Amino acid sequence: SYEGEFRNGYMDGEGTFIGALNDTYKGNWGMNMKHGKGSMSYANGDHYEGEWRKGLQDGNGTYQWNSGHQYIGQWRKGKMSGNGTMIWTNGKRYEGCWEGGFPKGNGTFRWDDGSFYVGVWGKDPKEQHAKFHPSNSPVSRDDWDPHELFSFETSECVIYEVEDLS
């Protein structure tokens, strides 16, 4: 159901939409699409607050998973893209560049014990050039492979798909 402004028969302006699965969007609309600033509470307990463009997260926003993990940063076409910070409930965090929902480019992954991995990230191990700095040693290591961590940690943070409005 929709309650809000209409223009030329379209949801357009401020409004609230509650879907059949109980997803709830409150914010700006443009021609039946989320467009502008708004917040989305998903049926699974996830929540997004920020900018939208043509129905997708686009611009600056914060996504909170029902697990407590959180991403704060830039979005493009519904994916984490640009500069952003992912914070896991276990104290780990990644700060840096994102592309298509994954860390890509310059960034730093930090553990709660003070260890960190800083450098260039990417899905392809050949794109990765960085160093691991353990918390208990002043010596950095070049031989540490972040790919396993990268795959595991980001697999916990999937963006919830919203039901189609049409």
Q: What is the pLDDT of residues 39-96, one digit of tens each?
A: 999 999 999 999 999 999 999 999 999 999 999 999 999 999 999 999 999 888 999 9
Structural domain boundaries, residue 67: 2-155
Q: Is residue 116 part of a domain?
A: yes
Q: Is residue 162 part of a domain?
A: no
Model confidence at 113, in pLDDT bands (50, 70, 90)? confident
Most confident of 6-15, 117-126, 128-137: 6-15
DSSP secondary structure letters along the chain: -EEEEEETTEEEEEEEEE-TT--EEEEEEETTEEEEEEEEE-TTS-EEEEEEETTEEEEEEEEE-TTS-EEEEEEETTEEEEEEEEE-TTS-EEEEEEETTEEEEEEEEE-TTS-EEEEEE-SSGGG-EEEEE-TT-S--BS---THHHHHHHHHT-PPPPPPP--
> What is the domain-level CATH number for residue 120?
2.20.110.10
pLDDT at 166: 41
- Give the number of domains in the chain: 1
pTM: 0.86
